[in-house]
Amino acid sequence: MKIRSTKQQLLNAVNIAGRAVAVKTTMPILECLLITADNMGISIMANDGEMAVNTLIPSEKCEVAEAGTIAVEAKLLSEILRKISSSDDAEVILSSDGNLVEISSGKAMFRIQEKDPVQFPELPSVNENVKVILSEFTLKEIVRDTIFSISLNDSNRMMTGELFEIKDNVLTVIALDGHRVSIRNTPLTASYDHVRTIIPGKTLSEVSKIISGDAEKNVVISFDPNYVSFRFDETLMLSRIIDGDYFRIESMLTSDYDTKITVNKKEFLDAIEQSTVLIRENDKKPLVLKIEEEKLGLRVNSLIGSLDASLPAEKTGADLMIAFNPKFLLDALRVIDEETVTLYMTNSKAPCFIRDEKKTYIYLILPVNFNPAAY
């Protein structure tokens, strides 16, 4: 194999595919990139066993002097490419004799050991019949707005993924961890078949790192009984899905409430940030919200000290004192782009809902117990 391209083209492709390189593995071949050169161009692939990424440098952006396939350690190749020249436009030549790869640019030449490409796992064949098309911008937003509320603890594997459900031309994405539920409803412009599948959180965060977030570019998501795939630009990302029947949460999603308040989002966020100064991991004191006429009070009373803050609020319904883990409020507020947010509550034991009128986002957060006399 012998190929030529620019430092930038190669490094970009290596970084994209690199998202699926295995980090801790007993199979060293999964730490490699498989590089295939043919008349299509140069394709670079990684596969960590759960997820695979294949990206192409099309033939018009590179030169394939000799077709072939090699496997090389991903991290090493990426470091070499980063340092081989200070210019992004520098020409880089990769050539292999089946044992060593030579990587050269200008007056620098690296020689590193190849791995056996035959050991590299083949991509499963996937049925790409059931598709939905989103803009890169929309997919990135959906992931950003929900991914924080998956569970990182895989004692319940379904909680480490997100439900993608398409029904009545709406894509509903749900993430939950037992303390909260985050929901994003996205109207779709076309009509699609019913889909209900659980995509691993890791797959979603990696795909959202690779895509640019451009509103003019599309991602085609295909659903197979065992896999999900994302196609965009010159890249295919393929991932196993999580088996199981996802939680039925419809019954939790009441629209009734006894207390409703609307506050400025930034003021609320700043006040909650203040409360976190006094709340440490090993001292699980809650943030208490004291909802009164025209006013939202925030109180903390911890081993470290106390905080008493307030902000103006528009209130409908009854006064209420209710307590939360401030992290869950912060996570939701940080991804809401509106200037004001509205909270819907029933009592101090029932879930609080943060949602917009159209329910494009719904954040359900469970309150925590507290002793009202202390606040």
Residues at the site binding a second copy, with contacts judged by CB under 8 A: 76, 79-80, 83-86, 107-113, 266, 270-271, 273-274, 276-278, 304-311
Nearest distance in Å: CB 306, a second copy:
5
3-state secondary structure of 271: helix
Nearest distance in Å: CB 307, a second copy:
5
Nearest distance in Å: CB 7, a second copy:
12
User: Whose structure tokens read 């719904």?
Assistant: 362
Nearer residue to a second copy within complex by CB, 37 or 81: 81
Nearer residue to a second copy within complex by CB, 82 or 196: 82
The whole-angstrom separation of Cα 146 and Cα 126 is 27
The whole-angstrom separation of Cα 145 and Cα 354 is 13
The whole-angstrom separation of Cα 293 and Cα 20 is 53
Nearer residue to a second copy within complex by CB, 111 or 196: 111
The whole-angstrom separation of Cα 223 and Cα 214 is 23
Nearer residue to a second copy within complex by CB, 95 or 348: 95
- Residue 88 in contact with residue 6, Cβ under 8 Å? yes
Nearest distance in Å: CB 167, a second copy:
41
Q: What are phi and psi of 326, to 5 degrees?
A: -60, -25
Nearest distance in Å: CB 317, a second copy:
23
- Residue 364 in contact with residue 180, Cβ under 8 Å? yes
3-state secondary structure of 374: helix
Nearest distance in Å: CB 79, a second copy:
5
Nearer residue to a second copy within complex by CB, 76 or 130: 76
Nearer residue to a second copy within complex by CB, 135 or 274: 274
Beginning with the edge strand found earlier in the chain, give each strand of the sheet holding 287-292 in spatial order. 295-301, 287-292, 320-324
Dihedral of CA 69/74/80/86: which sign?
positive
Nearer residue to a second copy within complex by CB, 106 or 187: 106
Which residues is 317 bridged to in the sheet? 259
Nearest distance in Å: CB 106, a second copy:
8
- Residue 178 in contact with residue 165, Cβ under 8 Å? no
Please name the residues in contact with 189: beta carbons below 8 A apart, sequence gap of 6 or more: none
Please name the residues in contact with 245: beta carbons below 8 A apart, sequence gap of 6 or more: none
Nearer residue to a second copy within complex by CB, 26 or 86: 86
Q: What letter does residue 123 receive in the DSSP assignment?
A: P
Structure tokens belonging to residue 278: 């006094």
- Residue 177 in contact with residue 151, Cβ under 8 Å? yes
Nearest distance in Å: CB 281, a second copy:
15
Q: How far is the CA of 353 from the CAs of 195, 326, 371, in angstroms?
A: 26, 15, 22
Nearer residue to a second copy within complex by CB, 300 or 332: 300
Which residues is 232 bridged to in the sheet? 235
Nearest distance in Å: CB 110, a second copy:
5
